[in-house]
Amino acid sequence: MKKTRNTQAKTEILHVLKQTGNAMSHGELQEKLNGLCNRVTIYRVLERLENEGKIHKIINVDGVVNYAICKDCRKENHSHNHLHFNCEQCKKVICIENITPEVNLPKNFIVNRYNLVISGICPVCQNLPNAKS
């Protein structure tokens, strides 16, 4: 069994994603890491974290790949067929894990995964009283 390495970059990327609580793009992560590692290292770490079942990819409404922390995934069972919300104002991508849309395709189609992103305005940008900051 191959042992996974815990590098400073890997540890810090996981920390930033957990602390933020939202999905982040490569560029946002690179900015938050403030020169800890170069862009290629960030891509490699993100790929490794995804393969390990620790993060997942979301392609937002602008076509930008974002990364978010997995809740109940393992390397062997990596599924994120839940809803993702993309705020049109602040551009945050938020996993809405308690909503799993049902997809019914015609006969002879097999669904492996899907990426469902809904765009709109998040509660923070609406300045609603029940919005979290």
The CATH number of the domain holding residue 100 is 1.10.10.10
Instruction: Please tell me the pTM assigned to this model.
Output: 0.77
Asked whether residue 2 is assigned to any structural domain, the reply reads no
Report whether 10 contacts 30 (CB < 8 A): no
Asked whether residue 32 is assigned to any structural domain, the reply reads yes
**Rounded Cα distance, 61 and 69, in Å:** 19
How high is the mean pLDDT of the chain? Answer: 84
**Rounded Cα distance, 44 and 38, in Å:** 10
| pLDDT higher than 80, residue 50 | yes
Q: Which structural domain, as residue segments, surrounds residue 53?
A: 8-126
Asked whether residue 3 is assigned to any structural domain, the reply reads no
Strands (E), 62-103: 65-69, 83-87, 93-96
Number of domains in the chain: 1
Average pLDDT over residues 92-106: 84
Average pLDDT over residues 65-78: 76
Asked whether residue 52 is assigned to any structural domain, the reply reads yes
Residue 6 banded pLDDT, cuts 50, 70, 90: low
- Token pair of 65 as six digits: 């790949």
**Rounded Cα distance, 104 and 106, in Å:** 7
Average pLDDT over residues 88-110: 86
Report whether 64 contacts 25 (CB < 8 A): yes
pLDDT at 11: 94
Asked whether residue 48 is assigned to any structural domain, the reply reads yes
pLDDT at 3: 45
Residue 40 banded pLDDT, cuts 50, 70, 90: very high
